[in-house]
Structure 1
Amino acid sequence: MSAPGLAQLAGWDVPQLRGCVGTLALVVDRLTPWRVRLDALGRRLDSAECWSGEAGTAAAGALLELSGVATGVGSRVDAALGALRRLVDAATDAAEHAARALAVADSAGLQLDDAGRVTGLPPQPHPAMAPDQAAELAARRTAAEAAAALATGLAAEARAAGARALVAAVSAGEELGDLAPAAGPVTFADLLPRLDPAGRHVVPPDPRAGPVAVADWWAALSAPQQLDVIVEHPDAVGALDGLPGWARDRANRLRLQAALAELPPGEARETATAVAGQLAAGGDRPVQLLVFDPGQGLAALSVGDLDAAEAIAVLVPGILTTVADDLAGLTGDAADVVAAATAAAPGLAVAAVAWLGYRTPGLLGALQPVTAVHAGRVLDRALDGLAAARGVPGVTPAARTTVVGHSYGSLVTGQAARAPGRLAADAVVLLGSPGTGAGRASRLEAGEVYGAWTAADPISTSGYYGPSPADLGFGDVPLPTDPGQGHTEYYDPDRPTLAAIGAVVAGVGPVR
């Protein structure tokens, strides 16, 4: 490829080039949200929610294919954009320097060829000239030489910038590879072979990368890649904070199926059996399995579609709570919170997570905050994951999130607030709290803090882990209770606290 001459560099239409690259960037930005919506439609077709039969299956397959093409093309174009932006910068410099070089030469009566060589300098004074003529010619020669030097320097800079522009253009072409058709429109049948099928096989990232990095990784995958990685790596996918609820649910259901087929009698199998029972009991109501670790006795179930919810509650239980014995009760509490929030704000899409993502302590373990410190970090990461999954372009905007900590779970919530970074929650509700370890409500890092306690609940007035809602100076907004309400009755439908919790989750509760 020959280097362009100065006249060609000066004539480059940089505004049009900048506009084309900007438009291409806009297309890439809009491609991801469009593909996310397309993938959601494909999942609905695949699960026969809106169209069943052979035609529906074929349509779902076509959408997966379209998603794969859109992801591949978007990835290639996005990679090329960096080189195209460098092309715009270099072309801008080249055009400006070339135009200035030609203008300087022209103003001095000189000619500048495409290689940047100057001709037309005035001659040197002749000895036979009169002194005044010789002086005038010498002055013209000096001025012309100065203009020639400036024009030559500008020409060199223009040619160097032009060379950088050509390198950037070649780099952009290499990133795009063979996507560009030789002539005429391109069909999907033409395009699919150009996208490397081996690229579909991906490996999940290290969880230590963080929920935001995980969410970005997931968003960059096509629908076929997402489905493939769920099947190939269900253990990793099911445990990744930052993924949408539907993906973790699919992965963890695969893990549950394997656990029920392989686990011998014991605590781990009892955990798996309890989880399977709650999934089966969901009926027509969406239930998503977000956490499943039978070896550690951990699970988290979302009552309601976590990915579509406008309001999310995360219920954090206290001591002596296990998946095998108590998941049914905690899931029932989550369902009651959903019902209360929906009653407070009819039409609102609500999900509530029964979160047993930590191994709760026994009576002796509850006397120390060690478990809460570890569990708080896990809860903080889980909340960050919920926020990151909803921060991807094209998905439903971030939901209002409320953490509801009961008893020792309120201490876990306080430790989550003390973890690095802000707590990814809009509101915190403390029920029967022995103290949060944070000191005051303002240190819980949520814009709204609510509390419920009663004189009939000695744990709520114990202050074992410091100030709690039972203390006048704690700084929370009190929720209603009955005088004789006990420690385990805050979610009781016959008590006033549940309706108040629902109002808080829905965002229509008292705010102070």
Structure 2
Amino acid sequence: MDIKTLYDADINNLTTAKNAYDTLFSAFGRHIENWQHEVVDRLGHSEWTGTAAGHAGTRIQSLGTELQAAKQELGLISKALSDAAEGIAAAQAHLISALDDARNNKMTVAPDGGITWNKDPDSADYAGDKAEATAKEISKRITTALSEADHTDRTISARLAKLATNATNGTGLDSATAKADQAAADALGQVPAAGTDPTSVKAWWNGLTDAQQQRMIQTEHDRLGALDGIPATARHQANLINLRRGKEDLQRQLDGLGPEPKKMLSVAETNGGPVENPDYTAWKKKREDLEEKMKGVKAIEARLKKDEPPAFLLGFDTKGHGHAIVAANNPDTADNVSTYVPGTGSRLAEMGTNMDRSDLMVASADEANGHRKTTSSVTWIGYDAPQSIFPEAADDTYAKNAESKLRGFQDGLRATHEGKPSNNTVLGHSYGTTVVGYTMRDKGLPVDNVVLVASPGAGVEHARDLGVAPSRVYAAQGDDDIIQNTPPEQAENWVSNFTNNVGHWAGSVDSPDHHLAFGRDPSVPQFGAVALPTSPGTDHSGYWEKGSRSLRAMGEAITGRPIS
């Protein structure tokens, strides 16, 4: 699609064709009604019997079915032409708007899309000192409009070609074919259910014109924003609406809390010592929850305003403790894609810290590959994480409940990625490694690399049990990380840990085996993972310190570079 073709496109021709098919559809419907009345009903009321009558009745019944199928196919052609007119008209409007803005800014757009302007400040036609930035923005809009038109053209052409083939070879007279075609057309207007295979979701999305996609984003943003298989840019647009509305709802709830109740009840009110007022306790808890979520919202808003690297909001809601998924750089176009799964305490309020870590990992990956390839790091708080070390973080139910969500998200990353498949990594921290390990053990993950940082156990005894080559499994544990003291779940592992430790202290065991809450410690040699170096004094949260050995090593692991 080029500028002239889109600019000169006569939408009236599409509308006229659509109206013609509507007329044909109506006329064909009347023909079927007349045929039913004049032929079928008359024969049905006749006294014709016998073998020939039976054969004729069967054929007439079959012919009636074929006529209804043909009518249904004609209606689908009309709908396709209507969608074409809407899609091309929207793209044409976007193009004309961009060209008008170019002209108003004293710029000339060439047929190939190149933009030129007068750069002489003394000239009456001088385009201004911000002309270059303006030209880039207009050029992007022109490219987008052409892409919209091309997508609509390809999408509608495919639909019409199928219907034309059906009409040519006679399959359009088959009721099953017509029913399937109608179901496919109807499905375009229905958002796939949550949990639908992401590849099918992507195919559905591709079948919509750009105008239909934009309408879906505006009307179905709450469902599209959480649907794996929707491309990152569209998912981002939907979640921007979800973010804005979520913020408005949080503010309404804060405003509706009312004045603070008195904190304590008096001796007279309780017939005993003063105690905290239950109304105050409930009010305070609600306010703190809302303020925490608002903190997360504002952190996301601040991150979205940063240009380098650009952020994409791939998930957002305020249910429970709140959830959010934010990618640094577009995962659909990046060469390397890493999903970072935080652990205990992860919730909407903690997005700021975790997004900072993703930004640091992108910078580390860029350094590792010499800025030759792009890296996207996705902060994934898409599950309900334990909020306390005990008893919640000692319970693997949170990990089990996250398995389908993490698997679906990873499948979605594969389904929406453009061009050559990316090098994908899943990186867990603390309880997040348990989520990663359990998911890989029970569901499998379509990733190339696994990084387990400060793990209390990944639910497996050996790296090979994760479903990828042990040489692509990496583990890090700092020398000052309290996670190494996590008690094992099974009693026999207490004895094993003690025996190995004693043997190590005695000098009879070089590398003591060690089990933690959810299986063997991934950082011990017996687990079989590649050890990631850490800086001296690294504690449970210190792996992302700027200049640290662990941060550098994570960048290397994410890009597939040798660990230095």
TM-score bracket for the superposition, by shorter chain length: 0.5 to 0.7
Q: Which amino acid aligns with 1:229?
A: M
- Matched residue of 2:159: which SS? helix
Cα deviation, residue 208, structure 1: 2.8
**Superposed counterparts of 1:243-262, under 5 Å:** 243-262=230-249
The 1-side partners of 2:364 and 2:300 are apart by: 20
Per the alignment, residue 224 of structure 1 pairs with 211
Q: Which amino acid aligns with 1:303?
A: A
Per the alignment, residue 69 of structure 1 pairs with 153
Tell me if the contact between 2:152 and 2:210 (Cα under 8 Å) persists in the aligned partners.
Answer: yes
Aligned with residue 417 of structure 1, among 415, 421, 440: 440
Tell me if the contact between 1:299 and 1:323 (Cα under 8 Å) persists in the aligned partners.
Answer: yes
Which moved further from structure 2: 456-465 or 198-207?
Answer: 198-207
The 1-side partners of 2:187 and 2:146 are apart by: 16
Tell me if the contact between 2:299 and 2:351 (Cα under 8 Å) persists in the aligned partners.
Answer: no
Aligned with residue 351 of structure 1, among 356, 376, 384: 376
Tell me if the contact between 2:188 and 2:204 (Cα under 8 Å) persists in the aligned partners.
Answer: no
Tell me if the contact between 1:376 and 1:414 (Cα under 8 Å) persists in the aligned partners.
Answer: no
Q: CA RMSD in A?
A: 3.2
Aligned with residue 167 of structure 1, among 159, 170, 178: 170
**Do residues 234 (structure 1) and 221 (structure 2) align?**
yes
- Matched residue of 1:209: which SS? coil
Aligned with residue 527 of structure 2, among 447, 452, 474: 474
**Superposed counterparts of 1:379-418, under 5 Å:** 379-390=406-417, 395-418=418-441
The 2-side partners of 1:320 and 1:199 are apart by: 43
Tell me if the contact between 1:201 and 1:228 (Cα under 8 Å) persists in the aligned partners.
Answer: no
**Do residues 507 (structure 1) and 560 (structure 2) align?**
yes
The 1-side partners of 2:538 and 2:366 are apart by: 24
- Matched residue of 1:436: which SS? coil
**Do residues 498 (structure 1) and 498 (structure 2) align?**
no
User: What does the per-residue CA deviation read over 1:240-298, in whole Å, with 9 as the maximum and x for residues that have no partner?
Assistant: 01111111110000111112223322535642552343333342121011110112300
**Superposed counterparts of 1:9-28, under 5 Å:** none
User: What does the per-residue CA deviation read over 1:44-95, in whole Å, with 9 as the maximum and x for residues that have no partner?
Assistant: x989996445x976775565344323211112224555x59xx8xxxxxxxx
Rate the CA distance shift 1:62–1:405 in 2: closer, same or farther, 3 A: closer
The 1-side partners of 2:213 and 2:134 are apart by: 20
- Asked which structure has the greater RCO (Cα within 8 Å, sep 6+), the reply is 1
Rate the CA distance shift 1:499–1:52 in 2: closer, same or farther, 3 A: closer
Aligned with residue 356 of structure 2, among 317, 332, 340: 332
**Do residues 460 (structure 1) and 484 (structure 2) align?**
yes
User: What does the per-residue CA deviation read over 1:138-165, in whole Å, with 9 as the maximum and x for residues that have no partner?
Assistant: xxxxxxxxxxxxxxxxxxxxxxxxxxxx
The 2-side partners of 1:268 and 1:428 are apart by: 35
Q: Which amino acid aligns with 1:474?
A: F
Tell me if the contact between 1:427 and 1:446 (Cα under 8 Å) persists in the aligned partners.
Answer: yes
Which moved further from structure 2: 398-407 or 267-276?
Answer: 267-276
Aligned with residue 309 of structure 1, among 313, 331, 334: 334
Tell me if the contact between 1:357 and 1:378 (Cα under 8 Å) persists in the aligned partners.
Answer: yes
The 2-side partners of 1:49 and 1:376 are apart by: 46
Normalised by the length of structure 2, the TM-score is: 0.58
- Matched residue of 2:324: which SS? strand
Rate the CA distance shift 1:210–1:454 in 2: closer, same or farther, 3 A: same
Q: Which amino acid aligns with 1:436?
A: A
Tell me if the contact between 2:188 and 2:207 (Cα under 8 Å) persists in the aligned partners.
Answer: no
The 2-side partners of 1:60 and 1:469 are apart by: 47
- Matched residue of 2:527: which SS? coil
Rate the CA distance shift 1:201–1:488 in 2: closer, same or farther, 3 A: same
The 2-side partners of 1:416 and 1:405 are apart by: 11
Per the alignment, residue 274 of structure 1 pairs with 296
- Matched residue of 1:68: which SS? helix
**Equivalenced residues, count:** 360
Cα deviation, residue 314, structure 1: 0.9
The 2-side partners of 1:368 and 1:210 are apart by: 29
Cα deviation, residue 479, structure 1: 0.6
- Matched residue of 2:542: which SS? coil
Tell me if the contact between 1:450 and 1:479 (Cα under 8 Å) persists in the aligned partners.
Answer: yes
The 2-side partners of 1:308 and 1:368 are apart by: 37
User: What does the per-residue CA deviation read over 1:180-204, in whole Å, with 9 as the maximum and x for residues that have no partner?
Assistant: xxxxxxxxxxxxxxxxxx9897221
Which moved further from structure 2: 478-487 or 401-410?
Answer: 478-487
Rate the CA distance shift 1:78–1:344 in 2: closer, same or farther, 3 A: farther
- Matched residue of 1:334: which SS? helix
Normalised by the length of structure 1, the TM-score is: 0.64
The 2-side partners of 1:474 and 1:430 are apart by: 12
- Matched residue of 2:393: which SS? helix
Listed as ranges, the gaps of 5+ residues in structure 2 are 1-86, 102-132, 179-184, 255-286, 487-515
- Matched residue of 1:207: which SS? coil
Q: Which amino acid aligns with 1:221?
A: L
The 2-side partners of 1:480 and 1:50 are apart by: 47
- When Rg is computed on C-alpha atoms for both structures, the one with the higher figure is 1
- Matched residue of 1:292: which SS? strand
Tell me if the contact between 1:268 and 1:294 (Cα under 8 Å) persists in the aligned partners.
Answer: no
Aligned with residue 212 of structure 1, among 199, 212, 218: 199
Tell me if the contact between 1:457 and 1:487 (Cα under 8 Å) persists in the aligned partners.
Answer: yes
Q: Which amino acid aligns with 1:293?
A: D
Cα deviation, residue 377, structure 1: 2.3
**Superposed counterparts of 1:7-46, under 5 Å:** none
The 2-side partners of 1:271 and 1:472 are apart by: 41
The 2-side partners of 1:355 and 1:494 are apart by: 24
Cα deviation, residue 465, structure 1: 0.9
User: What does the per-residue CA deviation read over 1:92-126, in whole Å, with 9 as the maximum and x for residues that have no partner?
Assistant: xxxxxxxxxxxxxxxxxxxxxxxxxxxxxxxxxxx
Cα deviation, residue 373, structure 1: 0.6
Per the alignment, residue 399 of structure 2 pairs with 372
The 2-side partners of 1:451 and 1:502 are apart by: 13
Tell me if the contact between 1:491 and 1:498 (Cα under 8 Å) persists in the aligned partners.
Answer: yes
The 1-side partners of 2:519 and 2:186 are apart by: 54
Question: Percentage identity across aligned positions?
Answer: 28
The 2-side partners of 1:429 and 1:271 are apart by: 29
Cα deviation, residue 311, structure 1: 0.5
- Matched residue of 1:459: which SS? helix
Rate the CA distance shift 1:481–1:65 in 2: closer, same or farther, 3 A: closer
Q: Which amino acid aligns with 1:316?
A: V
The 1-side partners of 2:340 and 2:557 are apart by: 13
Per the alignment, residue 140 of structure 1 pairs with none
User: What does the per-residue CA deviation read over 1:288-314, in whole Å, with 9 as the maximum and x for residues that have no partner?
Assistant: 111101123000111112221110111
User: What does the per-residue CA deviation read over 1:429-476, in whole Å, with 9 as the maximum and x for residues that have no partner?
Assistant: 011111101221111123310001134223136411111223221010
Cα deviation, residue 334, structure 1: 0.3
Per the alignment, residue 439 of structure 1 pairs with 461
Cα deviation, residue 347, structure 1: 2.5
User: What does the per-residue CA deviation read over 1:372-401, in whole Å, with 9 as the maximum and x for residues that have no partner?
Assistant: 1111221111111111112xxxx3322111
Per the alignment, residue 503 of structure 2 pairs with none
The 2-side partners of 1:62 and 1:350 are apart by: 28
Tell me if the contact between 2:195 and 2:408 (Cα under 8 Å) persists in the aligned partners.
Answer: no
Tell me if the contact between 2:434 and 2:455 (Cα under 8 Å) persists in the aligned partners.
Answer: yes
